[in-house]
Protein backbone atom coordinates (compact mmCIF):
# COMPACT_ATOMS: atom_id res chain seq x y z
CA UNK A 1 0.00 0.00 0.00
CA UNK A 2 1.22 3.48 -0.83
CA UNK A 3 0.58 6.20 1.72
CA UNK A 4 0.29 9.84 0.77
CA UNK A 5 3.15 11.38 2.70
CA UNK A 6 1.92 14.88 3.36
CA UNK A 7 4.67 17.12 4.77
CA UNK A 8 4.44 17.06 8.55
CA UNK A 9 6.20 19.09 11.20
CA UNK A 10 6.10 18.78 14.96
CA UNK A 11 4.46 21.96 16.19
CA UNK A 12 5.06 22.11 19.92
CA UNK A 13 4.93 25.16 22.13
CA UNK A 14 7.97 25.55 24.31
CA UNK A 15 7.84 25.33 28.06
CA UNK A 16 9.70 28.68 27.77
CA UNK A 17 11.45 26.44 26.97
CA UNK A 18 11.49 22.70 27.50
CA UNK A 19 15.24 22.93 27.18
CA UNK A 20 15.19 24.78 30.50
CA UNK A 21 12.57 22.57 32.10
CA UNK A 22 14.52 19.48 31.16
CA UNK A 23 17.74 20.93 32.50
CA UNK A 24 21.01 19.19 31.89
CA UNK A 25 22.34 19.50 35.42
CA UNK A 26 19.93 17.07 37.04
CA UNK A 27 21.24 14.74 39.67
CA UNK A 28 20.27 11.27 38.53
CA UNK A 29 18.44 8.94 40.87
CA UNK A 30 18.87 5.24 40.29
CA UNK A 31 15.72 3.18 40.50
CA UNK A 32 17.11 1.28 43.48
CA UNK A 33 17.61 4.46 45.51
CA UNK A 34 14.29 6.09 44.60
CA UNK A 35 11.16 5.74 46.64
CA UNK A 36 8.81 3.41 44.77
CA UNK A 37 6.42 5.94 43.30
CA UNK A 38 4.58 3.42 41.17
CA UNK A 39 1.88 3.05 43.80
CA UNK A 40 1.01 6.72 43.27
CA UNK A 41 -0.68 5.57 40.08
CA UNK A 42 -2.63 2.66 41.54
CA UNK A 43 -6.35 2.87 40.84
CA UNK A 44 -9.54 0.82 40.94
CA UNK A 45 -9.27 -1.46 37.93
CA UNK A 46 -12.92 -2.44 38.38
CA UNK A 47 -14.06 1.16 37.79
CA UNK A 48 -16.63 0.92 34.97
CA UNK A 49 -15.34 2.23 31.65
CA UNK A 50 -18.77 3.37 30.45
CA UNK A 51 -17.21 3.45 27.00
CA UNK A 52 -19.10 4.94 24.09
CA UNK A 53 -17.88 4.00 20.61
CA UNK A 54 -19.25 5.85 17.57
CA UNK A 55 -18.19 5.06 14.01
CA UNK A 56 -16.85 8.11 12.17
CA UNK A 57 -15.98 6.63 8.78
CA UNK A 58 -14.74 3.59 6.92
CA UNK A 59 -12.37 3.43 3.96
CA UNK A 60 -10.98 0.43 2.07
CA UNK A 61 -8.05 0.43 4.52
CA UNK A 62 -9.35 1.54 7.92
CA UNK A 63 -12.31 2.04 10.19
CA UNK A 64 -12.25 4.98 12.59
CA UNK A 65 -14.27 5.55 15.71
CA UNK A 66 -14.71 8.35 18.20
CA UNK A 67 -14.47 6.94 21.71
CA UNK A 68 -15.12 8.26 25.18
CA UNK A 69 -14.38 6.34 28.36
CA UNK A 70 -14.40 6.98 32.07
CA UNK A 71 -11.14 7.64 33.90
CA UNK A 72 -10.26 8.34 37.53
CA UNK A 73 -11.22 11.59 39.27
CA UNK A 74 -14.56 11.64 37.41
CA UNK A 75 -12.88 12.44 34.10
CA UNK A 76 -14.25 11.48 30.69
CA UNK A 77 -11.51 10.93 28.12
CA UNK A 78 -12.11 11.49 24.39
CA UNK A 79 -10.15 9.40 21.90
CA UNK A 80 -9.88 8.40 18.27
CA UNK A 81 -9.60 4.70 17.54
CA UNK A 82 -8.59 3.22 14.19
CA UNK A 83 -8.66 -0.40 13.06
CA UNK A 84 -7.41 -2.00 9.84
CA UNK A 85 -10.43 -2.63 7.61
CA UNK A 86 -11.27 -6.30 7.23
CA UNK A 87 -8.79 -7.45 9.88
CA UNK A 88 -9.00 -11.17 10.55
CA UNK A 89 -8.81 -11.90 14.25
CA UNK A 90 -7.48 -9.72 17.09
CA UNK A 91 -4.79 -7.23 16.07
CA UNK A 92 -1.99 -5.57 18.08
CA UNK A 93 -2.57 -2.00 19.24
CA UNK A 94 -0.46 1.12 19.69
CA UNK A 95 -1.42 4.09 21.86
CA UNK A 96 -0.09 7.29 20.28
CA UNK A 97 0.25 10.38 22.48
CA UNK A 98 0.66 13.91 21.14
CA UNK A 99 2.88 16.72 22.39
CA UNK A 100 2.36 20.01 24.17
CA UNK A 101 -0.22 22.37 22.69
CA UNK A 102 -1.48 19.84 20.16
CA UNK A 103 -4.26 17.25 20.21
CA UNK A 104 -5.07 13.72 19.18
CA UNK A 105 -5.76 15.12 15.70
CA UNK A 106 -2.30 16.64 15.15
CA UNK A 107 -0.85 15.95 11.71
CA UNK A 108 2.09 13.89 13.01
CA UNK A 109 -0.33 11.77 15.06
CA UNK A 110 -2.40 11.28 11.92
CA UNK A 111 0.79 10.22 10.12
CA UNK A 112 1.45 7.64 12.84
CA UNK A 113 -2.12 6.40 12.52
CA UNK A 114 -1.83 6.02 8.74
CA UNK A 115 1.46 4.12 8.84
CA UNK A 116 0.60 1.87 11.77
CA UNK A 117 -2.87 0.93 10.53
CA UNK A 118 -1.40 0.12 7.10
CA UNK A 119 1.06 -2.18 8.91
CA UNK A 120 -1.78 -4.05 10.62
CA UNK A 121 -1.98 -2.24 13.97
CA UNK A 122 -4.92 -0.65 15.71
CA UNK A 123 -4.23 2.90 16.93
CA UNK A 124 -5.78 4.65 19.93
CA UNK A 125 -5.00 8.31 20.61
CA UNK A 126 -6.34 10.43 23.44
CA UNK A 127 -6.29 14.12 24.25
CA UNK A 128 -3.82 15.07 26.97
CA UNK A 129 -5.57 16.79 29.87
CA UNK A 130 -6.57 20.38 28.90
CA UNK A 131 -5.88 19.72 25.22
CA UNK A 132 -8.15 19.17 22.24
CA UNK A 133 -11.69 18.33 23.29
CA UNK A 134 -10.58 18.70 26.92
CA UNK A 135 -9.37 22.30 26.60
CA UNK A 136 -10.77 24.64 29.26
CA UNK A 137 -10.27 28.39 29.74
CA UNK A 138 -7.65 29.12 32.38
CA UNK A 139 -6.38 25.55 32.47
CA UNK A 140 -2.87 24.68 31.30
CA UNK A 141 -0.16 22.06 31.69
CA UNK A 142 2.78 24.46 31.45
CA UNK A 143 4.80 25.28 34.54
CA UNK A 144 5.45 28.91 33.63
CA UNK A 145 1.85 30.04 34.13
CA UNK A 146 2.00 30.46 37.90
CA UNK A 147 -0.04 27.35 38.68
CA UNK A 148 2.54 24.56 38.99
CA UNK A 149 0.34 22.24 41.03
CA UNK A 150 -2.44 22.43 38.46
CA UNK A 151 0.08 21.63 35.73
CA UNK A 152 1.52 18.74 37.74
CA UNK A 153 -1.93 17.32 38.37
CA UNK A 154 -2.78 17.52 34.66
CA UNK A 155 0.28 15.41 33.84
CA UNK A 156 -0.70 12.94 36.58
CA UNK A 157 -4.25 12.76 35.28
CA UNK A 158 -3.00 11.92 31.81
CA UNK A 159 -0.99 8.99 33.16
CA UNK A 160 -4.17 7.63 34.71
CA UNK A 161 -6.04 8.30 31.47
CA UNK A 162 -3.45 6.31 29.52
CA UNK A 163 -3.78 3.40 31.94
CA UNK A 164 -7.52 3.50 31.37
CA UNK A 165 -6.83 3.53 27.62
CA UNK A 166 -5.17 0.14 28.12
CA UNK A 167 -8.26 -0.98 30.04
CA UNK A 168 -10.38 0.06 27.06
CA UNK A 169 -8.19 -1.83 24.59
CA UNK A 170 -8.19 -4.90 26.83
CA UNK A 171 -12.00 -4.83 26.82
CA UNK A 172 -12.23 -5.01 23.02
CA UNK A 173 -12.42 -8.37 21.21
CA UNK A 174 -10.80 -6.76 18.15
CA UNK A 175 -7.55 -6.24 20.09
CA UNK A 176 -4.81 -8.71 20.98
CA UNK A 177 -4.16 -7.46 24.50
CA UNK A 178 -0.86 -9.34 24.70
CA UNK A 179 0.63 -7.02 22.04
CA UNK A 180 0.22 -3.40 23.11
CA UNK A 181 2.66 -0.65 22.18
CA UNK A 182 3.03 3.00 23.06
CA UNK A 183 4.36 5.88 20.97
CA UNK A 184 4.77 9.14 22.89
CA UNK A 185 6.08 12.24 21.15
CA UNK A 186 7.73 15.17 22.98
CA UNK A 187 5.49 15.77 26.03
CA UNK A 188 3.83 12.46 25.13
CA UNK A 189 7.25 10.83 25.41
CA UNK A 190 8.10 12.52 28.69
CA UNK A 191 4.83 11.50 30.33
CA UNK A 192 5.10 8.19 28.51
CA UNK A 193 8.22 7.30 30.48
CA UNK A 194 6.10 7.57 33.62
CA UNK A 195 3.11 5.76 32.11
CA UNK A 196 5.12 2.86 30.72
CA UNK A 197 7.06 2.58 33.97
CA UNK A 198 3.86 1.98 35.94
CA UNK A 199 1.85 0.10 33.29
CA UNK A 200 3.26 -3.39 32.69
CA UNK A 201 0.68 -4.20 30.02
CA UNK A 202 2.53 -1.99 27.52
CA UNK A 203 4.96 -4.45 25.99
CA UNK A 204 6.74 -2.13 23.55
CA UNK A 205 7.21 1.57 24.41
CA UNK A 206 8.72 4.16 22.05
CA UNK A 207 9.69 7.51 23.58
CA UNK A 208 10.27 10.08 20.84
CA UNK A 209 11.85 13.53 21.26
CA UNK A 210 11.77 13.19 25.04
CA UNK A 211 14.14 13.80 27.93
CA UNK A 212 14.43 13.58 31.69
CA UNK A 213 15.19 15.89 34.58
CA UNK A 214 12.48 18.22 35.92
CA UNK A 215 14.73 20.08 38.32
CA UNK A 216 14.83 23.63 37.07
CA UNK A 217 12.19 26.30 36.59
CA UNK A 218 12.16 28.52 33.58
CA UNK A 219 14.66 31.27 32.97
CA UNK A 220 17.38 29.17 34.56
CA UNK A 221 16.16 29.38 38.16
CA UNK A 222 16.45 26.21 40.18
CA UNK A 223 13.29 24.75 41.65
CA UNK A 224 12.80 25.15 45.37
CA UNK A 225 13.27 21.82 47.20
CA UNK A 226 9.53 21.64 47.91
CA UNK A 227 8.74 22.02 44.21
CA UNK A 228 11.29 19.38 43.28
CA UNK A 229 9.50 17.02 45.65
CA UNK A 230 6.15 18.07 44.20
CA UNK A 231 7.35 17.07 40.73
CA UNK A 232 8.62 13.65 41.83
CA UNK A 233 5.45 11.82 40.65
CA UNK A 234 5.96 13.10 37.09
CA UNK A 235 9.76 12.97 36.90
CA UNK A 236 10.53 10.51 34.07
CA UNK A 237 13.88 9.59 35.63
CA UNK A 238 11.99 8.12 38.57
CA UNK A 239 10.03 5.71 36.36
CA UNK A 240 11.84 4.86 33.14
CA UNK A 241 13.97 2.19 34.82
CA UNK A 242 10.85 0.18 35.59
CA UNK A 243 10.10 -0.38 31.92
CA UNK A 244 12.66 -3.23 31.91
CA UNK A 245 12.68 -6.09 31.10
CA UNK A 246 10.45 -4.84 28.28
CA UNK A 247 12.33 -3.33 25.33
CA UNK A 248 12.21 0.45 24.90
CA UNK A 249 13.16 2.52 21.86
CA UNK A 250 14.28 6.15 22.13
CA UNK A 251 13.96 8.37 19.05
CA UNK A 252 15.70 11.73 19.00
CA UNK A 253 16.68 14.63 16.76
CA UNK A 254 20.35 15.44 16.16
CA UNK A 255 19.75 19.20 16.45
CA UNK A 256 16.83 19.32 18.86
CA UNK A 257 16.44 22.89 20.09
CA UNK A 258 13.69 21.98 22.59
CA UNK A 259 15.00 18.83 24.28
CA UNK A 260 18.77 19.04 24.89
CA UNK A 261 20.81 15.97 24.05
CA UNK A 262 22.00 15.90 27.66
CA UNK A 263 18.38 15.55 28.84
CA UNK A 264 17.90 12.75 26.35
CA UNK A 265 21.11 11.12 27.60
CA UNK A 266 19.84 11.30 31.19
CA UNK A 267 16.65 9.51 30.31
CA UNK A 268 18.40 6.90 28.18
CA UNK A 269 21.03 6.28 30.86
CA UNK A 270 18.37 5.80 33.52
CA UNK A 271 16.55 3.21 31.41
CA UNK A 272 17.61 -0.40 31.74
CA UNK A 273 18.36 -2.93 29.06
CA UNK A 274 17.02 -3.90 26.61
CA UNK A 275 17.06 -0.37 25.22
CA UNK A 276 17.90 1.23 21.88
CA UNK A 277 18.42 4.83 20.84
CA UNK A 278 18.14 6.18 17.30
CA UNK A 279 19.05 9.63 16.06
CA UNK A 280 17.40 11.37 13.13
CA UNK A 281 18.77 14.41 11.36
CA UNK A 282 16.80 17.56 12.10
CA UNK A 283 15.36 19.77 14.78
CA UNK A 284 12.49 19.09 17.13
CA UNK A 285 9.94 20.13 14.53
CA UNK A 286 11.77 19.15 11.34
CA UNK A 287 12.68 15.50 11.80
CA UNK A 288 11.52 13.16 8.99
CA UNK A 289 8.13 12.24 10.43
CA UNK A 290 7.06 9.67 7.84
CA UNK A 291 10.36 7.82 7.97
CA UNK A 292 10.22 7.76 11.76
CA UNK A 293 6.70 6.34 11.71
CA UNK A 294 7.70 3.62 9.24
CA UNK A 295 10.67 2.74 11.44
CA UNK A 296 8.37 2.61 14.48
CA UNK A 297 6.00 0.24 12.68
CA UNK A 298 8.92 -2.02 11.74
CA UNK A 299 10.20 -2.01 15.34
CA UNK A 300 6.78 -2.93 16.75
CA UNK A 301 6.43 -5.73 14.20
CA UNK A 302 9.83 -7.14 15.15
CA UNK A 303 9.20 -6.91 18.90
CA UNK A 304 5.78 -8.53 18.71
CA UNK A 305 7.00 -11.30 16.41
CA UNK A 306 9.67 -12.15 18.98
CA UNK A 307 7.16 -12.44 21.82
Number of domains in the chain: 1
Which portions of the chain are predicted below pLDDT 50? 1-2, 12-32, 216-222
44 within domain boundaries: no
Q: 6 in a domain, yes or no?
A: no
In a domain, 75, yes or no: no
The DSSP string of 225-254 is HHHHHHTGGG-GGGTGGGGTTS-EEEEEET
The DSSP secondary-structure symbol of 127 reads P
34 is a domain residue: no
> Residue 209's closest CA among 22, 31, 81?
22
Contact 108/54 with Cβ under 8 angstroms? no
pTM of the model: 0.89
Write down the pLDDT at residue 127.
Answer: 98
Mean pLDDT of the chain: 88
Structure confidence at residue 262 (pLDDT): 85
Residue 119 lies in a domain: yes
What are the b/e assignments for 72-111, b being 16+ CB within 10 Å?
Answer: beeeebbbbbbbbeeeeeebbbbbbbbbbbbbbebebbbb
- 276 domain residue, yes or no: yes
Rg value, the chain, Cα: 18
> At 289, which CATH number?
3.40.50.1820
Q: Give pLDDT, residue 147.
A: 80
Q: What pLDDT does 82 receive?
A: 99
Decide if 191 contacts 184 (C-beta within 8 A): yes
Question: What pLDDT is stored for residue 2 in this prediction?
Answer: 41
Range of the domain at 298: 87-305
Assigned domain for 60 exists? no
The answer as to whether 58 is a domain residue is no
Amino acid sequence: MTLQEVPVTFRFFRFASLSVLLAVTVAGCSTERCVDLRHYYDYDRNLPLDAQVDRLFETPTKVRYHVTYRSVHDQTVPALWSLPAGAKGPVPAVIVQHGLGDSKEADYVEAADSVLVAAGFSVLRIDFQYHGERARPGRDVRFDRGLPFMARDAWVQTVFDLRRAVDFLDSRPEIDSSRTGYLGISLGGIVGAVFCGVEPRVEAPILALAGGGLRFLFKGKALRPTLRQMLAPIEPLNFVGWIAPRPVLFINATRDEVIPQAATALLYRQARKPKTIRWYEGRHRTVPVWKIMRDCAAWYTKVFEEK
